[in-house]
Amino acid sequence: MISPRVELAREKLTENELQGFIVSDRQNIRWLTGFTGSSGVALLTCDSVHLFTDSRYTIQASQEAPGAVVHISSEPPIKQVAEKVSTLGCEAVGFESTVVTVEEYRQLEDGAADVRLVGLAQALSPLRAVKDTEEIERLRKACEITDAAFSAIQPFLKPGTKELDILRELVYILTGLGAEKESFDSIVASGPRSALPHAHPTDRILAAGEPVLLDFGAQYQGYAGDITRTLFLGSATDEFRKVYQTVLDAQMAAIAAIRPGVPGKDVDEVARKIITDAGYGNSFGHGLGHQLGLSVHDGPALSPKSDIVLLEGMVVTVEPGIYIEGWGGVRIEDDVLVGRCGAEVLTVSQKSLTELAV
């Protein structure tokens, strides 16, 4: 039986008048064929799917990608696929122009001199954007583990603890709860470091009277959860309360605006207006949220520049933040399934202001 994903992807061949499409992005290869190895290239033609890899993956490739013809060689996969499209006599073949390196492109040109190479940017992204039932189940489970880990880590958020110690516990907790691994490098940012949206944990020691921001997720069967919560160690200051409430209002209003047919930039605008009206417009520099799936950043979604229109079955994050250098930051992030009538929030951890005992 031909997989529905392969059938969908074949529409790209017809649309672009191609006889083949070379897929190099690892998550796209996984989505299309099931193969999870670290080295490989797939080739989609109108009547077959080929997977080119090396002998480290002989067993794995045949187990994971039963619908593909597996080719094992010590030659780089890009050379293997170039030779294949040449021997198949393809006239025009697509490749992923945002993934293939200059060197790989040269190898393709050399190995497939008679084939017209057509660069396609993000061709599979729209197909991956709407999740199928199995993907939604995996994302639900990833979010469930992520929520459970957020509960379990809270006893470790104490003055005197290092950010890196919290990271170590978090990874231990995530994998203990059934995650394969973190879905991305977790963020543990305390005090003024919470103003760095993508802070790496350091040996900074948490102190009473400051915020601590956690941004992390479980990866479950390849699918990424992604949550952010910002807590306060002790009694929150008035300014922290004001900033926190602004971010929370923005996040909840944006979630309420999500439904199929709504442009992603309109949802961003709902949150951005609340933050701007409260006087913090210049302190919210990033977009409101991204798509979620096999990658944590599975594609653009909610931002002022987004041209995405929300569709039923998309999963997106909603993560407004206010960041003030030298003071700190607040971000609140949830993962949301776009349902027929509106948003279903998949991460359900408490998000009212939490003041931890110190």
For binding to ligand GLY (CB under 6 A), which residues are involved? 184, 187, 198, 215, 226, 290, 296, 319, 333
Dihedral over alpha carbons 181, 216, 184, 44 (to 10 degrees): 80
Kindly give the interhelix angle for 163-176 and 133-153, rounded to the nearest 10 degrees.
Answer: 130
Rounded least distance, CB 231 to ligand GLY, Å = 17
d(CA 300, CA 288) in angstroms, rounded, equals 10
Rounded least distance, CB 286 to Mn ion, Å = 9
Which tokens is 167 given? 């990271």
215 binds Mn ion (CB under 5 A): yes
317 binds Mn ion (CB under 5 A): yes
Q: Judged by CB, which is closer to Mn ion: 200, or 242?
A: 200
Largest CA distance in the chain: 71
Q: Judged by CB, which is closer to ligand GLY: 191, or 320?
A: 320
Kindly give the interhelix angle for 4-16 and 26-33, rounded to the nearest 10 degrees.
Answer: 120
Tell me the site size for Mn ion, rule CB under 5 A: 5
C-beta separation of 30 from 41 below 8 A? no
184 binds, among Mn ion, ligand GLY, none (CB under 5 to 8 A by kind): ligand GLY
Rounded least distance, CB 298 to ligand GLY, Å = 10
C-beta separation of 205 from 156 below 8 A? no
Q: Which of 10, 20, 16 is nearest to 115 (CA)?
A: 20
Rounded least distance, CB 292 to Mn ion, Å = 7
Q: Judged by CB, which is closer to ligand GLY: 9, or 149?
A: 149
Site for Mn ion in 330-349 (CB under 5 A): 333
d(CA 15, CA 97) in angstroms, rounded, equals 17
169 binds, among ligand GLY, Mn ion, none (CB under 5 to 8 A by kind): none
Rounded least distance, CB 152 to Mn ion, Å = 18
By CB under 5 A, name the binding residues for Mn ion.
Answer: 215, 226, 228, 317, 333
